Amino acid sequence: MAKTIIVSNRLPISLRHRNGRFEFKPSAGGLATGLGSIYKSGENIWIGWPGNTVDDPEQRAEIILELHDLKMAPVFLSKEDVEQFYEGFSNETLWPAFHYFTQYMTYNAEHWEAYVRVNQKFCEAILKKADPDDTIWVHDYQLLLLPQMLREVLPNATIAFFQHIPFPSYEIIRMIPWRKQLLEGVCGADLIGFHTYDDMRHFMSAVGRITGLSSESGYIQADNRIINVDSFPMGIDYDKFAKQAKSKKTQSIVREFTKQVADQKLIITIDRLDYSKGIPQRIHAFNQLLKEHKELRGKVSMIMIVVPSRDKVQSYKELKEEIDLLVGRINSEYSTLNWVPVHYFYRSFPFEELSAFYNMSDIALVTPLRDGMNLVCKEYVASRTDQTGVLILSEMAGASKELQDAVLVNPNDQQGVVDAIYNALTMKPAEQKARISSMQESLKKYDIFQWVKVFLDRIEHVKEKQAELTSK
């Protein structure tokens, strides 16, 4: 029977070295949860990088065996691969380009060669496991060349690709010297998915202008195959968040935490350290709020969780320093002995504590300058089981297309963000309830499991359509 192979740069675990040994830490991410029932069933498997380098052949063999039991197969990357493919081309060329941060883009031929080489490595790892009629679902911008590499060896396989980050306008994509190879690489797939209609539109336009392939209403005509392109906005495991919020464990953490910030309104912000998240801009806006509304000093605090990420990449190192500096400034200016404006945490938290933070915060301030989807805003909404709270959400996040009942802001408009926070602090409970409950309805319906189902059903549909066209 044909099986399904999931492929992403990172496996849904991460490998850590400890005292000369290694251990696996499972990922609690949304994608890992959503695809759990897929890769764990039958002969299915997830192929990817375990997140650390392993040079010793004996250790590699051991890891392969252990991962095999978890329904995973590793692609080992060398130190050079990590520097040139992951930190280099993926995160210093593609990531900034796709998020419209052209000032951070580097154009490095060695990084490009590493990107081709590592995509090839993934291809070889898949070919060891794949049968000709398997379904192979490739994820994200680190693996744009993989669909075409697979297609050349497995012409009849079902290949799908989903991009989790934005797809920018043609004007940006054309700046990348290897743009044609990248787009042709993705076009090896039968189905190509994005979070939003705009991402899809940008992709179709770039394909038409750069590769010359013709396209019409969601379909691209490749040599002897049609490719479907569409938007599939990703959801969260809604029940998991709602249930956790009500759990005894989280409720007791909420009681303990709130005692320490008694009588204060709380604003929660949670992000991976990334310049696309607009963290400095948010601190500036909060600073402006405290300047304009003196009466709020001592009464409102921001809980700012920044999860360490890509800390070897220069622009991320600089961002970390900028955030440290800005938090230092605002806290040194306004703090009193029993109040600090920003509670800043540069680390990750266990799930039950995150749930407590969502639960005790009156406002979630989610203001990325650009974001493919953003799941934090959805997690906040799902965690508000008493239907209070206000979500302030950037128009530049993919999620804003669905969450129209959030208070939408342009993150570059500092005064607009200040006013939105002020209005949120004074919003009547009835309005909070109306907004939160309507967003909850849609998030409940289009959860992560529904997303996986709709995407997989569409793959089948595309294959049927292809078969119909070739039999004509």
Calculate the alpha carbon distances from 251 to 247, 363, 382 in Å.
6, 18, 15
CB neighbour list of residue 170: distance below 8 Å, 6 or more residues apart? 202, 205, 206, 209, 210
Shortest distance (Å) from residue 92 CB to ligand G6P:
12
| Residues 6+ away with beta carbon under 8 Å from 421 | 267, 285, 286, 289, 363, 365, 392
CB of 31 to ligand G6P, least distance (A): 8
Residue 140 contacts ligand G6P per CB under 6 A: yes
31, 8 contact by CB (below 8 A): yes
CB of 375 to ligand G6P, least distance (A): 9
State in angstroms the smallest separation of the CB of 234 from ligand G6P: 10
Nearest residue to ligand G6P on Cβ basis:
164
* Residues 439-458 interacting with ligand G6P (rule: CB under 6 A): none
How many residues contact ligand G6P, by CB under 6 A? Answer: 6
Nearest to ligand G6P of 164, 201 (CB atom): 164
CA 160-171-108 angle, 5° bins: 75
Q: Is 165 in the site for ligand G6P (CB under 6 A)?
A: yes
Between 111 and 310, CB nearer to ligand G6P: 310
In whole angstroms, give the CA distance from residue 385 to residue 360.
11
Q: Under DSSP, is residue 400 helix (H, G, I), strand (E, B) or coil? A: helix
Catalytic positions, written as ranges? 164, 371
Regarding 320 and contact with ligand G6P (CB under 6 A), the answer is no
Least distance in Å: CB of 95 to ligand G6P?
Answer: 8
Q: Choose between 258 and 309: whose C-beta lies nearer to ligand G6P.
A: 309
What does 166-228 look like in DSSP terms, one character per residue? ----HHHHTTSTTHHHHHHHHTTSSEEEESSHHHHHHHHHHHHHHH--EEETTEEEETTEEEE
Residues in region 5-44 near ligand G6P by CB under 6 A: 10
Q: Does 376 bind ligand G6P (CB under 6 A)?
A: no
| Minimum distance, C-beta of residue 161 to ligand G6P, in the bound complex (Å) | 13
Report the b/e string of 67-90 with b at 16+ CB within 10 A: beebbbbbbbbbeebbebbbbbbb
Instruction: Report the site for ligand G6P in 258-317 (rule: CB under 6 A).
Output: 309-310
d(CA 106, CA 83): 13
Our CB check for ligand G6P shows the closer of 203 and 286 to be 203
Cβ proximity to ligand G6P: between 310 and 435 the closer is: 310
Backbone dihedral angles phi then psi of residue 136, each to the nearest 5 degrees: -120, 120
CB 165 within 8 A of CB 141: yes
The least CB distance from residue 229 to ligand G6P, in Å, is: 18
Cβ proximity to ligand G6P, 140 vs 405, nearer residue:
140
236: contact with ligand G6P by CB under 6 A: no
92 binds ligand G6P (CB under 6 A): no
Structure tokens at 308: 């360490």
Looking at the Cβ atoms of 118 and 300, the one nearer to ligand G6P is: 118
The reply on whether position 164 binds ligand G6P by CB under 6 A is yes
Q: Which helix (H) or strand (E) holds 74?
A: strand 72-74
Q: Which residue type occupies 42?
A: G
Residues that bind ligand G6P (CB under 6 A): 10, 140, 164-165, 309-310
